[in-house]
């Protein structure tokens, strides 16, 4: 049985069909990159995986179980907009998820549990290279550092799948390259199963083990919303060939997206 099964999933808002006939499976440890023109439903698909939205038709199964209809700790997320807690220092931002697990009432722990959680969070901060900034508030960190922190915050909960919604969209090219390197490293280290929506075709080819291209197959000029997008291309990216293949295909798909 596959890790994640997408079975005939449709998403419609009133008469507008956003996504249609999504049918594919994802194995554990795959890094899926999602590309496609804007407004083609990539983010909607991610929202459904997250539980922020539910499919209008069809089902999504994670390890054979239907996804719960609200976000939960089995699915971690990193958004493009920095979603850090401004009143907590970097270390506390990472500790929060662990603290809430141990203290239902206060969401805050003390004593030996706190020390243990602190160590775990610190190790997580180290793996994203933020150990120097552990005691800084998010507002004192640069955009790239904030995204690193956001990733650490999500990973410390050891989610079954990690969802990345254009996580590097707001970063300058330098930090972007660093972040890609970091995410690749973390994916290998933790054996993550990840979905990443991106607009950067090169990034999609380089980071992913599998590339899903979303687009509309059918067009009705009289009713532009009558048909939704679906996965038009499902490319398995071979690790060894990935780099070369990426270079070749970037141009081809960049025109599709534009």
90-102 vs 143-155: helix axis angle to the nearest 10? 20
Within positions 13 to 52, which residues make up the interface with other proteins, using CB under 8 A? 50, 52
Q: Which one among 23, 25, 85, 247 touches other proteins, defined by CB under 8 A?
A: 85
| CB atoms closer than 10 angstroms to residue 134 | 18
Q: Which one among 70, 112, 240, 258 touches other proteins, defined by CB under 8 A?
A: 70
Query: Using an 8 Å Cβ cutoff, are 150 and 82 in contact?
Result: yes
Q: Is 190 in the site for other proteins (CB under 8 A)?
A: no
Q: Is 128 or 237 the residue whose CB approaches other proteins more closely?
A: 128
Q: Is 106 in the site for other proteins (CB under 8 A)?
A: yes
Dihedral in degrees, nearest 10, Cα atoms 119, 129, 161, 51: 90
Q: Tokens standing for 48?
A: 């459904």
Q: What is the DSSP letter of 82?
A: -
The residue range among 9-17, 137-145, 167-175, 234-242 that interacts with other proteins, by the rule CB under 8 A, is 137-145
- State the minimum distance, in angstroms, from the CB of residue 190 to other proteins: 16
Closest by CA to 64, choosing from 3, 130, 131, is 3
Pairing of the two strands 229-236 and 210-216 = antiparallel
Query: Using an 8 Å Cβ cutoff, are 166 and 135 in contact?
Result: no
The position carrying tokens 């549990």 is: 113
Q: Is 159 in the site for other proteins (CB under 8 A)?
A: yes
Q: Which one among 29, 37, 58, 71 touches other proteins, defined by CB under 8 A?
A: 71
Q: Is 72 in the site for other proteins (CB under 8 A)?
A: yes
Query: Using an 8 Å Cβ cutoff, are 50 and 69 in contact?
Result: no
Q: Which one among 4, 48, 154, 182 touches other proteins, defined by CB under 8 A?
A: 154
The residue range among 35-43, 75-83, 112-120, 181-189 that interacts with other proteins, by the rule CB under 8 A, is 75-83
111-127 vs 143-155: helix axis angle to the nearest 10? 130
| Distance in angstroms (rounded) separating the CA atoms of residues 208 and 167 | 14
Q: Is 151 in the site for other proteins (CB under 8 A)?
A: no
Q: Is 81 or 115 the residue whose CB approaches other proteins more closely?
A: 81
The burial of 34, by beta-carbon neighbours within 10 Å (0-12 exposed, 13-18 middle, 19 or more buried), is given as: buried
Q: Is 113 in the site for other proteins (CB under 8 A)?
A: no
- State the minimum distance, in angstroms, from the CB of residue 164 to other proteins: 12
C-alpha dist (Å) from residue 8 to 25, 56, 83, 89, 231 = 11, 10, 32, 43, 12
Q: Is 153 or 209 the residue whose CB approaches other proteins more closely?
A: 153
Q: Is 79 in the site for other proteins (CB under 8 A)?
A: yes
Q: Which one among 36, 41, 55, 97 touches other proteins, defined by CB under 8 A?
A: 97
The count of residues interacting with other proteins (CB under 8 A) is 34
Q: Footprint of other proteins on this chain (CB under 8 A)? A: 50, 52, 70-73, 75-77, 79, 81, 83, 85-88, 96-97, 99-101, 104-108, 137, 139-140, 150, 153-154, 157, 159
């Amino acid at each position: 049985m596959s890790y994640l099964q997408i079975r005939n999933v449709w998403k419609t808002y009133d008469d507008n069909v956003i996504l249609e006939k999504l049918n594919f499976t994802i194995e554990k440890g795959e890094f899926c990159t999602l590309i496609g023109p804007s407004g083609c439903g990539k983010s909607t698909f991610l929202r459904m995986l997250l539980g922020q939205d539910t499919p209008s038709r069809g089902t999504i199964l994670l390890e054979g179980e239907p996804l719960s209809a609200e976000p939960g700790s089995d699915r971690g997320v990193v958004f493009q907009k920095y979603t850090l807690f401004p009143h907590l220092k970097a270390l506390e931002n990472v500790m929060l998820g662990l603290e809430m697990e141990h203290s239902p009432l206060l969401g805050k722990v003390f004593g030996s549990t706190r020390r243990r959680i602190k160590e775990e969070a610190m190790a997580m901060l180290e793996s994203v290279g933020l150990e120097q900034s552990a005691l800084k508030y998010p507002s004192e960190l640069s955009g790239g550092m904030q995204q690193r922190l956001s990733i650490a915050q999500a990973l410390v909960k050891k989610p079954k799948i990690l969802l990345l919604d254009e996580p590097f969209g707001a970063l300058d090219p330098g930090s972007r390259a660093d972040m890609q390197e970091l995410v690749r490293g973390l994916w290998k280290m933790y054996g993550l199963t990840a979905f990443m929506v991106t607009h950067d075709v090169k990034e999609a080819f380089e980071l992913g083990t599998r590339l899903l291209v979303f687009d509309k197959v059918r067009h009705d000029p009289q009713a532009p919303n009558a048909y939704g997008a679906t996965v038009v291309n499902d490319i398995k990216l071979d690790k060894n060939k990935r780099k070369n293949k990426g270079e070749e295909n970037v141009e081809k798909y960049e025109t599709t997206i534009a």
